[in-house]
Amino acid sequence: MTMPPFKSIDPATGETVWEGPAASPAEVQAAADRARAAFPDWADRPRQDRIDAVKRYQAVLRDRAPRMAEAISRETGKALWETTAELGAMAGKVDISIRAYDERTGERTAETGFGHATLRHRPHGVAAVLGPFNFPGHLPNGHIVPALLAGDTVVFKPSEETPLIGQLMAEAFVEADLPTGVINVVQGGRDTGAALLDSGIDALMFTGSGAAGAHFRRKFADDPHVILALELGGNNPLVVWDAADAEAVAGIVVQSAFVTTGQRCSCARRLIVPEGPQGDAIVEAVAAFVDRLILAPWNSTPEPYAGPLISQKAAEAALQALQDRIAMGARVIRASGPVDNLPGAFVKPAIIDVTGVAVPDEEMFAPFLSVTRVGSFDAAIAEANATRYGLSAGLVSDDPANWDRFIRRIRAGVVNFNRPTTGAAGDMPFGGLGASGNHRPSAWYAADYCAYPVASFEAGAVRNIESEIKGLRP
């Protein structure tokens, strides 16, 4: 069966970036079968062979970085400075993943009275990787590289919003000369993804929405052998308390809430400040800073801070969610809407005050920030934790004692102090709890979900262990 073609559209211009057919269920199954056939040989190879293979891939990424960065900018609308950094992170992920495997899931042996005890790690088998649109190279790459190093084989479905970068990644793996079937790319949308989940996989590695993650939990509830690594969104809080320099605070808030046009799962969605003049000064400084941000196409001059949302459809949905909150009683501090004469995917950053308004505990994946004012630091922490999500959180304060209380009370997987909530290091774990994940963080800890531990007692020869057995008759 031939599936209908679909397109990737540059949200900054409306131009078609990529066009091609979606993989049919039969084509998806064939890709999974190729991965299954390739698995035994790939898993049994010396680890150095797998390291050499991903190092070749790393070299291709570095060689093709300018072209691939421009492709991501065209598909997502992200500024070129950001997509260039994304390609750097993709190449850097190789060395980080090699080190992480050794620390998290390597092999060790201890001598015993009977021989030795050994810990090994073995790959799961065929891993399905579903990629997101916001970091269409870096985030799936962060699953794929550790999986390949562990000995898993991979079927990768890029987001239907960003198929071009998925194709370019596939070409990079081909040039890196990986064995046939070790890495397979299937293009398509929801139906293609559903077919992949039904193809007999051993692991699902997903970055995306909390709703999709909940669906995958339900789908695989009766299949405990399928490892789920779910990196999901968040309704992330940023608390500002006892911070005197409102202008300095504003920069941290803006970079937390509006970078990547608000399309990072770790973006701050909720700003929590003191009641009264101190909170007023912070909000006014943030609003003034937002007014300075340049939103424009990725190849504009001067260089833009950020670009459009991924599509006009996404912009319309986000604006409706914002309007719903205003209808509930939120007070507008900075209104959103179209940006100059640019296409409909562009939206202005918005700031609304939701103090005393019961708004939904949902992520708005857009440059929208909700302000809540509270009367005490304990109330600020309680408000920060008043979410079913738990990905990132932050505190901005001049008082280290506030940080000591905050870090002990806040429920989130990435918690920053006097830095944007969007800051994260590849050599540390990245993930959340609650509706933000399933306790399998990625980045440095990706090695944990790409292989399972095998603990062994081993003796070099068969020997009589009767002396170890109690309760025997003479």
86 is catalytic: no
**Structure tokens belonging to residue 319:** 């604006």
| Residue 184 β-bridge partners | 155
Query: In whole angstroms, what is the distance from residue 198 CA to residue 44 CA?
Result: 26
Residues 6+ apart with CB under 8 A from 309: 11, 77, 261, 263, 315, 318, 345, 346, 347, 365, 366
Cα separation, 157 vs 141, in Å, equals 12
Q: Which of 265, 267, 362, 363 is catalytic?
A: 265
Choosing from 82, 231, 362, 363, the catalytic residue is 231
Annotated active-site residue 267? The verdict is no
Determine the Cα–Cα distance for residues 188 and 21; give it in Å rounded to an integer: 7
**Rounded to the nearest 5 degrees, what angle is found at the Cα of 267, between the Cα atoms of 262 and 271?**
105
Q: What are the DSSP E strand ranges found in 106-232?
A: 108-111, 116-123, 126-130, 153-157, 183-185, 203-207, 227-231
Cross-strand pairs, 157: 130
Concatenated DSSP letters of 39-70: HHHHHHS-HHHHHHHHHHHHHHHHHHHHHHHH
How far apart are alpha carbons 89 and 449 in whole angstroms? 20
DSSP 10: -
Residues designated catalytic? 231, 265
